[in-house]
Structure 1
Amino acid sequence: MTGTAPLARSVDGGREREPVPAWARAPADALARAARGACGVVVALRRGDERAVVPYGTTAYGGPEPVTAATRFEIGSLTKCFTALLLAEEAVRGEIGYGDPLGRFLPPGILPAERGGPITLLHLATHTSGLPRLPPGLLAEAAGVWFANPYARFSGDDLLRSLARTRPGSAPGERVRYSNFGVGLLGHLLTRAVPGGPAYGALLAERVLGPLGLRSTGDDPLLPQATGYWHGRPRPPWRIPGLPGAGSLRSTGPDLLALLDALADAAAEADPGNDPDGRRSGVRGSDGRGSGVLGAALADTVRPRLALRGGTRRLALVWNIRVRPEGPVYHHSGGTRGFTAFAGFAPRHRTAVVALANTTPAADQRFLQGAYNTLITLHRG
C-alpha cells in the first residue's frame, strides 16, 4: 500500500471472496497496512483448526485484476526452506548423506580452498560453510541490472567458476554466516545427486511440491503472477538461473500455509511436547505425506541442528527457531527486487502466519516484523 491507508480487500460482486473470521480480521488488516509500497498483499493465518486466507488490493498499480488466494508472489529466500526439505528427502532415500563433502559431487579443480576441513551438505543447510553471502564475480555480472534482476546473468557455470576461486571466511562449522551462495550451491548439488541431473524446479516438483499438493508453487517466471515494485517502480519477473535453490520460487498464501501445516504436524509428531492436546491439524490427506519418505523428510527438516548464542535461538535445516516459554517458533523470510515474504509456525499451538506483499523489503522491516509479532500473538493464544 502507499503510506498508511489500508488496501482494499479483494471483492467479488461487492462481497469478500472468502469470509474473514473475526479472530483473523484485525491481524490481517494490520499486516496489510504495514506493507508500505505494495498494492497487493495476501495474509494466510492458522489458529488451531481454523484458517483464513485474506487477499488485499490488486496485482498491479492501476490494474483491474484483484489479488486473490490464487495470486502468485515471488518468495525469494523462502525458497531455501524448500531446498532444505529436498535435502532431507534425498537423505531419507539414501541418495546423499548430510555429512557428504562437496568433493563427492564436484571434481577437485572446482572445490574451494579448504580451511580447517571439508564443507559438507549440512554446513550449507545451516549457513556454517564459511562461504560468503554472494559468489565472487556476481556483482560484476550484475552491473546494469542490480536494481532489477541482479542474478539474471549468473549461470550454473558461473557458480562453479566462482566456487573454484572462493576462499572461505571461516572453517566449516565454526560460525553461522548467512549465505545465498551456500544454499544456492546446495540446490545445485542436490540435482547432481539424482540420476539424469534434472533441473532444480523439476526435481522439487517431483519430490516435494507434487506430493504435498502445492500446485501453484514453482520457479517458472513466465506464469502469471503479481507485479513486483521497488520504490514504486515495476520490476520484471525475478530470475536466478545459477542459484535457483536460494531464491527462484513463486507461491501463494494457501500453498505456503499447507507447507507450514505439514511441517508443524511433523514437529508435533516428533516431539509430543509440541502437541500437548494430542491433536494435529489433520491436513495430511491420503497421499502418504504423513509417512514414508516425505513424512520422514518433514520431520528431519524441523529437527534442531545448532544452538546459537543467547540460549533462545536454534537452527534447523535452514529454518530459524526461537525457543519461547510457550513452545518453539519456526520462521524465515524472503525478498526479491519486487516482493517481500514471511512464513512462520508454532507447532505446539498449531499456529502459522504467511505474509506476502508485492514490494521490495523495506529498510525498517515493518512488514516482516509485524508478521513475526502476529505469529507470536497467535502462539500465545
Structure 2
Amino acid sequence: MSPRGAGSAGRERRAEGPAWADELLAGLRRSAPGASAVALAVRRGTERVVLADGHTAWRGGTPAGPDTRFEIGSLTKTFTALLLAETAARGDVAHDDPIARFLPPAAAPHLQAGRITLLHLATHTSGLPRLPPGFLRRGAPAWFSNPYADYSPADLRRALTRTRPRAAPGTRVRYSNFGVGLLGALLTRAAHGPTGPDTAADFEQLLGDRVLGPLGLTRTDCAADGPQATGYWHGRARPAWRIPALPAAGAVRSSARDLLAALDALIDPAGPPAVPETLRTALADVTTPRIALPRTGRRIGLIWNIRPRPGHDLYHHSGGTRGFTSFAGFSPQTGVALVALANTSPVLTGAFIQRAYLDLRALAGEACR
C-alpha cells in the first residue's frame, strides 16, 4: 500500500505559485491519494503557471517538478492526431484515404459495407473493437502490470485479418485503442512506403521528427527506459508501460511543462515562429469539429472531445496506464488551458480526471465573464 506515514518529505511542495493555482494543485492532490507526485500546468490568458507536488516515488524518489516525465496513456492519441494532420498537410495522405491503401490486400479487415478511412480511425468511428481480437486472452496474465508488453506488430497484423468491425464505418462512435494504434502504423507506412517498417521505434522517430521536435517538446517521447516518475496501482509500484504494437494509442511520456506548450500551440497555431507550415496547418486541423454526437451537443475533432459551453468550447482528453493518470484540456476562445498529471492508476470514479475537467471548466467560465 502507499506509505501513508511517508511524512512531510513525501508531500513537500516543490514549487509555489499564486494562491488560486496552489488551491487547484491541492484539490488535484486530494483526488489522487495513491500518487507520490502530482503536476499541474495552467494557462489563463497571458499567465502561465506550472507546479508540482511530491516526489517521483514513495521511497527513494527525487522532488517532482515541471519537467518530471509521466506516462500519459491515451493523451498520446492527441499527438497521433497531429501526426495525421501534419502528414495530410504534406500531401502524403488524405483524411478520407481508405486504410487498404496502406495495407497488403490480405491484411485488410473484412467489411460487409463501406470502407474504413484514416478519418474514421481518428474519430473512433471505424467500427473496430476497442482492442484487437484475441488481445484479452493474450494479455490476461499481465493484466495488472502491462498487458501490451508482449503484443507485437506482427500480432497486430495477424489480428487485423481476423477483425470483423462491430458497425459500418462512420455510423457509430466506439472508442478504439486498436483503431488509433493502427492509425499510427499506417502513418508510419505512408512515410516509408506500403511495405516499409511500422515498428514502435519507427513511429516514435516519425512523431519526433514531425511533431514533438518542431514544437520544442524536449521531455516528450515514447522511451520506456528514460527517466520518469514511478507509477503506482493500488499502492504497488508498476513497471514502465510498454506498448510495442500500438504505440500511437498510448506510449508517450511527457511533462506538465511540455504538455502546456502543446496546448499553447493548439490555442494559437500562428504563434510559434519556428513551427513549419505543415505543422501549423495541422494544429488548426485537429481542432476542427468532425463528428456531432446526437442529442448531446458534443462534438469530436481529430481525437479531441469537444463540449460546447456558453460563449466558448472545451476541448479535452484524458489518459491512463497501470500506474498513471493524465488530463489535458483547453478553450481556444478564452485562452485557457489545463494539464493535470498523477503517478497513480485511474480509479473507477474518475475522481482525478473529473476534478481536472471541472477546474478547466471553471477557469474558462471565469474568463468568459
Question: Residue type matched to 2:178 in 1?
Answer: F
Q: Which aligned pairs between 1:212-231 and structure 2 lie closer than 5 A?
A: 212-231=215-234
Question: Residue type matched to 1:300 in 2?
Answer: D
In structure 2, the residue matched to 1:165 is 162
Are 2:369 and 1:366 aligned? Answer: no
In structure 1, the residue matched to 2:244 is 241
In structure 1, the residue matched to 2:275 is 288
Q: Distance in 1 between matches of 2:125 and 2:33?
A: 34
Which of 299, 307, 313 aligns to 1:314? It is 299
Q: Distance in 1 between matches of 2:312 and 2:294?
A: 18
Q: Distance in 1 between matches of 2:72 and 2:344?
A: 11
In structure 1, the residue matched to 2:187 is 190
What's the secondary structure of 2:183's corresponding residue? helix
Deviation at 1:191, TM superposition (A): 0.1
Q: Does the 8 Å CA contact 1:43/1:53 hold for their aligned counterparts?
A: yes
Q: Which aligned pairs between 1:197-346 and structure 2 lie closer than 5 A?
A: 197=197, 199-266=202-269, 284-289=271-276, 292-346=277-331
Which of 113, 119, 122 aligns to 1:122? It is 119
Deviation at 1:2, TM superposition (A): 7.5
What's the secondary structure of 1:355's corresponding residue? strand
In structure 2, the residue matched to 1:275 is none
Q: Does the 8 Å CA contact 2:130/2:176 hold for their aligned counterparts?
A: yes
Deviation at 1:197, TM superposition (A): 4.2
Which of 72, 84, 93 aligns to 2:90? It is 93
What's the secondary structure of 2:50's corresponding residue? strand
Q: Distance in 1 between matches of 2:344 and 2:11?
A: 16
- Cα deviation, 1:38-75, whole Å, max 9, x if unaligned, reads 11110111111111111011111122411111110000
Q: Distance in 2 between matches of 1:153 and 1:64?
A: 28
**Percent of matched pairs sharing the same residue:** 56
Alignment length, in residue pairs? 356
What's the secondary structure of 1:41's corresponding residue? strand
What's the secondary structure of 1:52's corresponding residue? strand
Would the alpha carbon gap of residues 64 and 123 (structure 1) be closer, same or farther in structure 2, given more than 3 Å must change? Answer: closer
Structure 2 portions without partners, runs of 5+:
none
Question: Residue type matched to 1:114 in 2?
Answer: L
Deviation at 1:311, TM superposition (A): 3.8
Is the deviation greater in 141-150 or in 166-175?
A: 141-150
Q: What root-mean-square deviation, in Å, do the aligned CA atoms of Structure 1 and Structure 2 show? A: 1.6
Question: Residue type matched to 2:184 in 1?
Answer: G
What's the secondary structure of 1:344's corresponding residue? strand
Q: Does the 8 Å CA contact 2:3/2:58 hold for their aligned counterparts?
A: no
Q: Does the 8 Å CA contact 1:2/1:37 hold for their aligned counterparts?
A: no
In structure 1, the residue matched to 2:362 is 377
What's the secondary structure of 1:361's corresponding residue? coil
What's the secondary structure of 1:193's corresponding residue? helix
Deviation at 1:108, TM superposition (A): 1.7
- Cα deviation, 1:278-322, whole Å, max 9, x if unaligned, reads xxxxxx343135xx1110010001100010022420000000000
What's the secondary structure of 1:263's corresponding residue? helix
Q: Distance in 1 between matches of 2:179 and 2:58?
A: 36
Q: Does the 8 Å CA contact 1:57/1:66 hold for their aligned counterparts?
A: yes
What's the secondary structure of 2:191's corresponding residue? coil
Q: Give me the TM-score of the superposition, normalised by structure 2.
A: 0.93
Q: Does the 8 Å CA contact 2:215/2:275 hold for their aligned counterparts?
A: no
Q: Give me the TM-score of the superposition, normalised by structure 1.
A: 0.90
Q: Does the 8 Å CA contact 1:228/1:337 hold for their aligned counterparts?
A: yes
Would the alpha carbon gap of residues 234 and 140 (structure 1) be closer, same or farther in structure 2, given more than 3 Å must change? Answer: same
Deviation at 1:22, TM superposition (A): 2.5
Q: Does the 8 Å CA contact 2:265/2:272 hold for their aligned counterparts?
A: no
Question: Residue type matched to 1:130 in 2?
Answer: G
In structure 2, the residue matched to 1:72 is 69
Q: Does the 8 Å CA contact 2:96/2:118 hold for their aligned counterparts?
A: yes
Are 2:126 and 1:139 aligned? Answer: no
What's the secondary structure of 2:248's corresponding residue? helix
Are 2:2 and 1:23 aligned? Answer: no
Q: Distance in 2 between matches of 1:351 and 1:113?
A: 44
What's the secondary structure of 1:212's corresponding residue? coil
What's the secondary structure of 2:319's corresponding residue? strand
- Cα deviation, 1:239-267, whole Å, max 9, x if unaligned, reads 0000000000000000000111111113x
Q: Distance in 1 between matches of 2:260 and 2:313?
A: 18
In structure 2, the residue matched to 1:353 is 338
In structure 2, the residue matched to 1:273 is none
Are 2:46 and 1:49 aligned? Answer: yes
- Provide runs of 4+ in structure 1 moved above 3 Å: none
Question: Residue type matched to 1:238 in 2?
Answer: W
Deviation at 1:143, TM superposition (A): 3.2
